[in-house]
Amino acid sequence: MVALFNYCLRLGDTTHILSHRLAEWTGHGPALEEELATANTALDLLGQARMWLSLAAELEAAERDEDELAYLRDSHEYRNYLLVERANGHYGDTLLRQYFFDVWHYHLLQKLGESAHAEVKAIAQKSIKEVAYHVRRSTDLVVRLGDGTEESHERMQACVKANWRYLGELFVDDEITRTLAADAVIPLHASLWTDCYDHIQATFQTATLELPEESDAFHLAYRGGPQGRHTELLGYLLAEMQYLQRSYPGAKW
């Protein structure tokens, strides 16, 4: 159960941190429709984070609930992937980061929906209904901006370069994923690469964006977000996200 606990933290932390990043756009979106869509995606991810962290709390059986796991851990205890803690940048940066995550997330949830673990399977089957919309939306927007004006194309190409090196970490297996895959609880993350790469390649062809070398995606793959080694950006994010809970420990709404 230790491996599954840590994997649930990995997915819970990843969706939670990305949810917070997207929520930072509230009141600052480029258009009302886009701001609402981004906020709704953030809420979807927050709900998924709660399910994963609730399962983690159940597996840990240490009298910590999902709120304590979410708001009362320090940065080195977080297990999210580095991609999602990156700063929002401009809206194109946020969309490209979201697109890369959505493609991976969708293919992962498809496989988790066949998990031998009943609760993992249930969470995945519930979440994929939301994520199917996420990936359609982000794919459409990448195409529209990539194949839009000269300026939007140049900006999106720069976004690809900035985010590509963080993509590979999502597909790296470690002792935790290999242990769970051996028990048919999850797929090996490396097995998701081909389908995800094909999806990205097809999108970029339509968006007239240049696809970087595959090997460049794994440039930062072993820095270790899932092992608790993060960029300084996570510390600033947590300081804001955890402020209320740490200022008023045990407070209830």
pTM of the model: 0.94
- Burial class of residue 132 in the structure, from the number of CB atoms within 10 Å of its CB (0-12 exposed, 13-18 middle, 19+ buried): middle
Can you point out the beta strands (E) in 46-118? none
Residue 236 lies in a domain: yes
Q: Kindly tell me if the per-residue pLDDT of 32 is higher than 80.
A: no
Instruction: Give percent of the chain above pLDDT 90.
Output: 81
pLDDT of residue 15 exceeding 90, the answer is: yes
Report how far apart, in Å, the C-alpha atoms of 11 and of each of 68, 88, 135, 205, 230 are.
16, 20, 17, 30, 16
Q: Is residue 42 pLDDT above 90, yes or no?
A: yes
Asked if pLDDT for residue 250 goes beyond 80, the answer is: no
Q: State residue 63's pLDDT score.
A: 82
As a whole number, mean pLDDT of residues 56-80 equals 92
User: For residue range 85-104, what is the model confidence (pLDDT) as tens digits?
Assistant: 999 999 999 999 999 999 99
pLDDT digits (tens, 9 = 90+) for 156-215: 999 999 999 999 999 999 999 999 999 999 999 999 999 999 999 999 999 999 999 999
Average pLDDT (38-50) is 96
Mean pLDDT rounded to a whole number for the chain: 93
Chain length of the chain: 253
Does the residue 238 lie in any domain?
A: yes
Q: Sorting pLDDT into bands at 50, 70 and 90, what band is 27? A: confident
Is the CB of residue 29 less than 8 Å from the CB of residue 38? yes
- Number of compact structural domains in the chain: 1
Question: In CATH, what number is assigned to the domain containing residue 118?
Answer: 1.20.1260.10
Taking alpha carbons only, the member of 149, 129, 246 closest to residue 207 is 149
* Contact predicate 228/76, CB 8 Å: yes
In the chain, the amino acid numbered 192 is: L
* Residue 14, in any domain of the structure: yes
Enter the tokens of residue 147. 């194949």
Per-residue model confidence (pLDDT) at position 209: 97
What one-character DSSP code corresponds to residue 76? G
- pLDDT tier, 30 (very low <50, low <70, confident <90, very high otherwise): confident
Task: Give yes or no for residue 231 having a pLDDT over 70.
Answer: yes
Residue 237 counted as domain residue: yes
Which structural domain range is residue 58 located in? 2-247
Q: Flag whether 21 is in a domain.
A: yes
pLDDT of residue 40: 96
Residue 98's Cβ-count burial label (10 Å; 0-12, 13-18, 19+) is buried
Question: Do residues 82 and 223 lie in contact, with contact meaning Cβ atoms separated by under 8 Å?
Answer: yes
The answer to whether residue 253 is domain-embedded is no
CA atoms within 13 A on the CB side of 139: 18
Band of pLDDT at residue 73, cut at 50, 70 and 90? very high
Q: Is residue 39 part of a domain?
A: yes
Classify the C-alpha dihedral 100-196-80-231 as positive or negative: negative
Contact 177, 189 (CB under 8 A): yes
121 within a domain of the structure (yes/no): yes
pLDDT band at 222 (very low <50, low <70, confident <90, very high): low
Q: Give 238's contacts (C-beta < 8 A, 6+ positions apart).
A: 74, 75, 78
Measured CA to CA, the distance from residue 114 to residue 85 in angstroms comes to 29
Residue 223: the pLDDT is 67
pLDDT number for residue 253: 64
